[in-house]
Amino acid sequence: MNQRFQNMVKLHQNRVYTLAAYMLRDRAEAEDVTQDTYIKLWQRMNRSDEEVSRAWLLRVARNACIDRIRKRKPITDQVPEVGDHRDPAFRMEQDQLGKWLKDAIAGLKEPYRSLIVFRDVQQHSYQEIAEMLEMSLSQVKVYLFRARKQLRSKLPRAETV
């Protein structure tokens, strides 16, 4: 059993940590969530012989993140600041875009935030996302579409400022 646990750590730790890091935008909290998730995994593996899937692991991690986010200040729908985009020649560089996107993703509401991380960052299949979020395939596609649209609407552009 210990060996199975070690394999689960090696195989999925980065996915769990990435999900938490993107959702919480706080490394210390992401580490806590990752550790708590694996403690739950270990306890579950002791309780039953039922196979624990990657989807289960990520679902637990996501729920832990949501709990932490709820305990924070109320969500504000603010657009992250990026550089000085009053400059007409403003154009986001890749690094800047990446940072802006991370903040913007963290600013999305659920389930949009998780969907973007699962699909666009971690490249999970629609089917696996549906399993993790307990949604239908069509719901996954619709919500993902809305999530991207929200990101697009927040994108700062020189001509709009």
Partner 1 sequence: MKNKTEMNTQAFDDAIEELLSGDLNTNQAQELQQAAASDQAMATAIIDAWTIRRGLDELETEAVPPALEKRLLAIPSQHAPRKQWFAWLKPANWQAGPSWAIGSALAMSLILAIGISRQPNPAEIQQAREDIQVALAYLGKSLNQADQVTRDELSLQVQKILAGQQHRPAQNIEGDTRIEPESIDL
Burial of 154 (0-12, 13-18, 19+ CB in 10 A): middle
* List of residues 6+ apart from 87 with CB closer than 8 A: 158
Figure out which of the listed residues 134, 157, 158, 161 binds partner 1, where binding follows CB under 8 A.
157
Q: Is 113 in the site for partner 1 (CB under 8 A)?
A: no
Q: Is 155 in the site for partner 1 (CB under 8 A)?
A: yes
Provide the residue count of the chain: 161
Interface map 29-68 toward partner 1 (x if CB under 8 A): -xx--xx--xx--xx--xx---------------------
* List of residues 6+ apart from 155 with CB closer than 8 A: none
Q: Is 82 in the site for partner 1 (CB under 8 A)?
A: no
Stretch that binds partner 1, among 51-59, 63-71, 89-97, 128-136 (CB under 8 A): 89-97
Contact 54, 18 (CB under 8 A): no
Contact 68, 34 (CB under 8 A): no
Instruction: Give the pair of three-digit tokens for residue 52.
Output: 């624990």
Q: How far is the CB of 88 from partner 1 (least distance, A)?
A: 15
81/134 with CB nearer partner 1: 81
67/98 with CB nearer partner 1: 98
Instruction: Give the pair of three-digit tokens for residue 127.
Output: 């089917």
Cα gap 156→45, rounded to integer Å: 47
Residues that bind partner 1 (CB under 8 A): 2, 5-6, 9, 13-15, 17-18, 21-22, 27, 30-31, 34-35, 38-39, 42-43, 46-47, 92, 94, 97-98, 100-102, 116, 120-122, 145, 148-149, 151-152, 155, 157, 159
